[in-house]
A and B are shown apart, each in its own frame.
Chain A
């Protein structure tokens, strides 16, 4: 257990509203990730971070921004939510440096109406 907490776990919002998902970890892991999971697409990387204030884009970063002001927190923001962003969002941390086991949070289910 890597002590990863995602919040909120469930959220329903309307198109055009901003949404922020929070990932909190207690293991001081350097790397943190945000993935989204949709039927037929599996897990797709949105953004990841390799340290405080160090982030990079993944495969599906359009419409999303992230921030990491502290080692333990990685925030994912949808500036203006769209229905195509309805998904399950998973946060993960990486044990070790670059290679190793990914630990996932329990997921945040977001519905955009």
Chain B
């Protein structure tokens, strides 16, 4: 089983839609969680950290469910510019300098 798993998609949604991605992790002692965004043929960039209490940044909401070992990303009012691959990242507690990526979920927002 992979340490971090995501549904690769693609998720095809119309502009204005709300879309949600989940990411599951296998190590229950994992400490830190992040969502990164990667545009086609570009390097990944941090979208947002995920805090235990959940957090929101504009149209983006991230949540952590430790009991079920998953994190989620909700995008409201999707824009064409949101089309990208969204990568879930987890820091295992056994060595917190090591960051493990999921394979990514591809989102395509259509006009």
Tell me whether B87 is interfacial, beta carbon within 8 Å: yes
The DSSP consensus for interface residues of chain A is: strand
Query: Which A residues lie within 8 Å of B6 (CB)?
Result: 42
Query: Which B residues lie within 8 Å of A34 (CB)?
Result: none
Instruction: Give a binary string over A21-37; 1 marks a CB under 8 Å from any B CB, 0 the rest.
Output: 00000000001010100
Near B by CB (< 8 A), chain A positions 64-91 give 90
How many residues does chain A have at the interface if contact means C-beta atoms less than 8 Å apart?
24
In the complex, what distance in Å separates the CA atom of A31 from the CA atom of B103? 22
Whether B102 lies near A45 (C-beta < 8 A) is no
Instruction: Give a binary string over B83-99; 1 marks a CB under 8 Å from any A CB, 0 the rest.
Output: 00001010100011111
Beyond A40-B103, A94-B99, A99-B32, 16 additional pairs, beta carbon < 8 A: A33-B99, A35-B101, A42-B87, A42-B101, A42-B103, A43-B101, A43-B104, A45-B99, A45-B101, A59-B100, A98-B91, A98-B97, A99-B31, A99-B96, A104-B43, A104-B44
| 4 tightest A-B CB contacts, nearest first | A42-B103, A104-B43, A43-B101, A98-B96
